[in-house]
Chains A and B, each alone.
Chain A
């Protein structure tokens, strides 16, 4: 029983990060209907931004203080939001009316560009860098169970951001515009919605989410390197599709489910070597039963 509970806790800690990344994927997908492959690289850049600014901020606001930590998150998220908007403007906007696959290839190009530039010795270099401890880490003991304060932080941030995103999309004017753009871009633009600005905003929001996820990921695994985003990015993408891509709670559900599954699989000798495949196996199974994902609405095509 202890074993089961401990694995559940571990799984939630991992799943929360997947969920956060998946949230970013889903936001962009919901509005633009294309998979932003560069999302996982923005995540990496978020972690590196924090890596470089954290010492400066901590000098001003005190080492390992909550205030400094929050500032690091905000500054990195803001920088990455700008970067996301820039990528959208330069690489994706000119292709807005082209088939989605064209944009997809451009996104792959952007992703490769960021990864290989970052790996250059003159930029970040390929070697892992030690990520600083932003907050003192504590282990909370409950009987035989151990809960890391980092995991609590991750789960908390994910819940807060999910609610915030849901609020933005459902309750604000911008959110209404986002939904309008998602539903029908042309009609939205005819109704006076500034489509370019809304898409730009969505990208900024998605990139900020990626940056926050990147920092949390770096806190969990404090060796950051230019390819750190690839693996969680792929898993989060699976999570987003699992939950029904474009659906916010779906992304979180998918992420948590995947985190739990991978953690449990990791602890079983006959399964741990198939861990990479298990996520996909479950995904295929679920999509066969529910083709639009767990919470996705299947769209009926009209003639």
Chain B
């Protein structure tokens, strides 16, 4: 995607978000809820796409970052309390959650310097699980019973505003001179290193940035569902996000966004088939991979091809 396109996305996204929030009260709550889910999924998938797609690292711990951001920002909101001046503290709480998640991302990014492929995958999975277990044992955030009574502050405006910012920031980052390093690391780490790319810093940047936005998504999720339970952030949640990224075509922003939309809507549409819903869902994943193995939304006019 060209750089100018990214700016267009940002403006279009924010305009859409403002427009949508204006009409919010008229929307059906269920549809509204699912559309917010879609927005959160877009943030999660786009941010994981930076780590897994653009940089070519394989992270399976995204739900962990999401949990850190979610629990921390929800905890802040509960300390501040009330929805009166939410417009001030809500974004601050979200960013604080994102920052803590980014700090954890730094911690996870460090082992990625030494590990690659499946080893990295299992270590990030492990970090994600450790975060969940720690949350399960921390009384301040409700331990096993989870955090309840979180004020409902997430709306279309915040969600899609942050989604637009995420897409913009990550596109801008990848397309900057510095960001070309991500793609270089993805394509050939050794060649990148010998061409003067600081691969260490590039990888850590990818982890920290990805984790930051996952943390924001977690905060939005917390103030959307109003209840957080540690079991909701297990490794299967991470897998959901990974499926979005791979189905969308690793490193292809538009494709990943489309996959995030598709995979969030699909289970909802399939609700009418209740008992066969997840069977159909699984079958669709297999068929999509078999029929479009390079990602659902990859076409031959794309910028670069994968080996």
- Which residues of A line the B interface, CB within 8 A? 29, 35, 91, 94-95, 98-99, 101-102, 104-106, 108-110, 112-113, 116-117, 120-121, 234, 237-238, 241, 245, 273-274, 276-277, 279-281, 283-284, 287-288, 291-293, 301, 303
Q: How far is the CA of A283 from the CA of B124 in the complex (A)?
A: 11
Interface string of B286-307 (1 = CB under 8 A from A): 1001100110000000000011
Segment at the interface with A among B38-46, B205-213, B276-284: B276-284
Q: What are 25 inter-chain pairs, A to B, with CB distance below 8 A? A: A91-B290, A94-B293, A101-B250, A106-B285, A106-B286, A108-B243, A110-B282, A112-B285, A113-B279, A113-B282, A116-B278, A120-B276, A238-B122, A241-B118, A245-B119, A273-B133, A273-B136, A274-B133, A277-B130, A280-B130, A281-B130, A284-B123, A287-B122, A287-B123, A291-B119
Query: Is there an interface contact between A110 and B286, defined as CB atoms closer than 8 Å?
Result: yes
Asked whether any CB of chain A lies closer than 8 Å to the CB of B111, the reply is: yes
Closest to A118 in B: B279
Least CB distance, B298 to chain A, in whole angstroms:
11
Query: Is there an interface contact between B114 and A291, defined as CB atoms closer than 8 Å?
Result: yes
Which residues from chain A contact B279 at a C-beta distance below 8 Å?
113, 116-117, 120
Least CB distance, B157 to chain A, in whole angstroms:
33
Which residues from chain A contact B127 at a C-beta distance below 8 Å?
280, 284
Q: How far is the CA of A112 from the CA of B280 in the complex (A)?
A: 10
Closest to B236 in A: A230
Query: Is there an interface contact between B243 and A105, defined as CB atoms closer than 8 Å?
Result: yes
Asked whether any CB of chain A lies closer than 8 Å to the CB of B134, the reply is: yes
Which residues from chain A contact B285 at a C-beta distance below 8 Å?
105-106, 108-109, 112
Closest to B131 in A: A277
Asked whether any CB of chain A lies closer than 8 Å to the CB of B239, the reply is: yes
Given A98-B294, A110-B286, is A287 in contact with B115 using a C-beta cutoff of 8 Å? Answer: yes
Which residues from chain A contact B307 at a C-beta distance below 8 Å?
99
Asked whether any CB of chain A lies closer than 8 Å to the CB of B137, the reply is: yes
Query: Is there an interface contact between A105 and B247, defined as CB atoms closer than 8 Å?
Result: yes
Query: Is there an interface contact between A303 and B191, defined as CB atoms closer than 8 Å?
Result: yes
Query: Is there an interface contact between B191 and A105, defined as CB atoms closer than 8 Å?
Result: no
- Dominant secondary structure at the B interface: helix
Q: How far is the CA of A171 from the CA of B291 in the complex (A)?
A: 39
Which residues from chain B contact A280 at a C-beta distance below 8 Å?
125-127, 129-130
Query: Is there an interface contact between B123 and A273, defined as CB atoms closer than 8 Å?
Result: no
Residue among A29, A121, A241 having the largest count of chain B Cβ atoms under 10 Å: A241
Least CB distance, A112 to chain B, in whole angstroms:
4
Give the size of the chain B interface in residues (CB under 8 angstroms). Answer: 45
Q: How far is the CA of A287 from the CA of B130 in the complex (A)?
A: 16
Q: How far is the CA of A281 from the CA of B133 in the complex (A)?
A: 11
Asked whether any CB of chain A lies closer than 8 Å to the CB of B246, the reply is: yes
Q: How far is the CA of A91 from the CA of B275 in the complex (A)?
A: 24
Query: Is there an interface contact between B275 and A120, defined as CB atoms closer than 8 Å?
Result: yes
Q: How far is the CA of A102 from the CA of B306 in the complex (A)?
A: 12
Q: How far is the CA of A127 from the CA of B132 in the complex (A)?
A: 27
Query: Is there an interface contact between A99 and B235, defined as CB atoms closer than 8 Å?
Result: no
Given A95-B293, A238-B126, is A288 in contact with B190 using a C-beta cutoff of 8 Å? Answer: no
Least CB distance, B302 to chain A, in whole angstroms:
15
Query: A273-B136, A276-B132 known; 14 other A-B pairs, CB under 8 Å?
Result: A99-B307, A105-B242, A105-B285, A105-B289, A116-B279, A238-B126, A276-B129, A279-B126, A283-B126, A284-B123, A287-B111, A287-B115, A292-B119, A301-B189
Q: How far is the CA of A12 from the CA of B293 in the complex (A)?
A: 42
Q: How far is the CA of A273 from the CA of B135 in the complex (A)?
A: 11
**7 closest A-B pairs by CB:** A280-B126, A109-B285, A112-B282, A113-B282, A277-B133, A109-B286, A116-B278
Closest to A117 in B: B279
Least CB distance, A294 to chain B, in whole angstroms:
12
Least CB distance, A22 to chain B, in whole angstroms:
12
Q: How far is the CA of A98 from the CA of B298 in the complex (A)?
A: 14
Closest to A288 in B: B111
Which residues from chain A contact B114 at a C-beta distance below 8 Å?
287-288, 291
Asked whether any CB of chain A lies closer than 8 Å to the CB of B58, the reply is: yes
Q: How far is the CA of A293 from the CA of B114 in the complex (A)?
A: 12
Least CB distance, A183 to chain B, in whole angstroms:
17
Interface string of B240-255 (1 = CB under 8 A from A): 0011001100100000
Least CB distance, B263 to chain A, in whole angstroms:
11
Interface string of B130-153 (1 = CB under 8 A from A): 101110110000000000000000
Closest to B136 in A: A273
Closest to B133 in A: A277
Which residues from chain A contact B126 at a C-beta distance below 8 Å?
238, 279-281, 283-284
Least CB distance, A48 to chain B, in whole angstroms:
17
Query: Is there an interface contact between B239 and A108, defined as CB atoms closer than 8 Å?
Result: yes
Closest to A275 in B: B133
Query: Is there an interface contact between A245 and B118, defined as CB atoms closer than 8 Å?
Result: yes
Residue among B115, B125, B126, B242 having the largest count of chain A Cβ atoms under 10 Å: B126
Q: How far is the CA of A238 from the CA of B118 in the complex (A)?
A: 11
Interface residue from B118, B130, B190, B283 paired with A301 (Cβ < 8 Å): B190
Least CB distance, A101 to chain B, in whole angstroms:
5
Q: How far is the CA of A300 from the CA of B265 in the complex (A)?
A: 44
Least CB distance, B35 to chain A, in whole angstroms:
25
Interface residue from B115, B119, B137, B283 paired with A273 (Cβ < 8 Å): B137
Query: Is there an interface contact between A234 and B235, defined as CB atoms closer than 8 Å?
Result: yes
Given A284-B111, A303-B191, is A95 in contact with B118 using a C-beta cutoff of 8 Å? Answer: no
